[in-house]
Amino acid sequence: MNMTTPYAYQFWPGPMEGVAKAEFVATVNELDLVSRWMTPFLRVSEIPAPRKTVAIFLAPFLRSGKPVTLQLMGDDAKILAETAKTAVALGAEGINLNCGCPSKRVVRHHSGGAMLNDATLIGEICRAIKDAIGEKEFSLKFRSGSGDWREVENFLPPLAASGDVDGFFYHCRTVAEGYTAIADRKERFLTAAQAAGDVPLVLNGDFDDGAESFAILAECRAKGAMIARNWMRDPYLLRRCEKQDAPDAETGRQLFFTTFCAKNPPRGAQLEICRMLWGEKSPVFRKLCKKTK
């Protein structure tokens, strides 16, 4: 991946479906919390996404002035490729194909993590999208496998050797594991790094700014890390990972929430962000719930 950074690694905000809406993205942009964006997935099924639809979807992210990668989800190579071509014409710096979402509803529709059961189809889609966007960056986001994490040793090497993928975003859990804790993430990361060959690899799964996380990045010779849930609990985490000045976690949470609420989001959105920042058992969340009743 060619997106430049003044740091040793790239740190990406996880594309949180249902969370990264207009007020949330505007808050992140205002506080300058990210160096790059990957959007939540844009689901494309029966027809290519219309230009207006793609433009509206990308707009909040493009306003940041930072490089934006559009994440797509679907299983039709031609339709996805045409949508990708539209996106780069509108300013997206890259395209990402989601093959990792563990949502049961998504998997039932043969998208996201379900795609890992058909490596041939993934390869066809990768080829079509890369042909459509030319020199722009194309990446693949995936999990270790459907049920067995060692599936990655089978489907990843051919994709890496194809020349159609510029970068991999690898989540160490399987689709079946969802977001449950695992004890062997380092082994999984090292296995994926070997399977990816020379294709740059961004790691995803319980990363923070601690020494262990940076040690894993170094040992895997990774391009960087994507952080979602830990970032939401600590909005300045990516800045801290980039060795920039940042407030402590609690001060950062308060600043983020105050800035977010000033944009007058729906009350339900305020509750959801508060829950993600402090947890549903926290006094802050319980106090807000009482005000909402």
Domain that holds residue 109: 10-266
Does residue 280 form part of some domain? no
Instruction: State pLDDT tens for residues 217-240.
Output: 999 999 999 999 999 999 999 999
**pLDDT in the model for residue 4:** 42
Q: To 5 degrees, how large is the angle CA 245–CA 251–CA 253? A: 105
Amino acid at 201: L
Neighbours of 250 (CB within 10 A): 11
Q: How many domains does the chain have?
A: 1
Report the CATH number at residue 152.
3.20.20.70
For residue 289, being part of any structural domain is answered with no
Place of tokens 């600590």: 234
pLDDT at 291 over 80: no
Structural domain includes residue 115: yes
146 has pLDDT over 50 = yes
Mean pLDDT of 21-37: 97
- pLDDT tens digit sequence for 239-277: 999 999 999 999 999 999 999 999 999 999 999 999 999
- Other residues' Cβ atoms within 10 Å of the Cβ of residue 270: 18
pLDDT over 90 percentage in the chain: 85
Q: Is residue 273 part of a domain?
A: no
pLDDT at 75 over 50: yes
Please give the single-letter amino acid code of residue 16: M
Nearest to 192 by CA among 163, 167, 227: 167
Residue 204 lies in a domain: yes
Question: CB of 165 within 8 A of CB of 195?
Answer: no
pTM of the model: 0.93
Residue 1 lies in a domain: no
Characterize the bridge pairing of strands 137-143 and 68-73.
Answer: unpaired
Helices and strands in the chain, H and E counts: 13, 8
The answer to whether position 138 is within a domain reads yes
In the predicted model, what is the mean pLDDT of residues 185-189?
A: 96
Which strand ranges, in their side-by-side order, compose the sheet holding 167-171? 10-13, 224-227, 201-204, 167-171, 137-143, 94-99, 68-73, 37-43
Mutual angle of helices 185-196 and 211-220, in 10-degree steps: 30
Whether residue 147 is contained in a domain is answered as yes
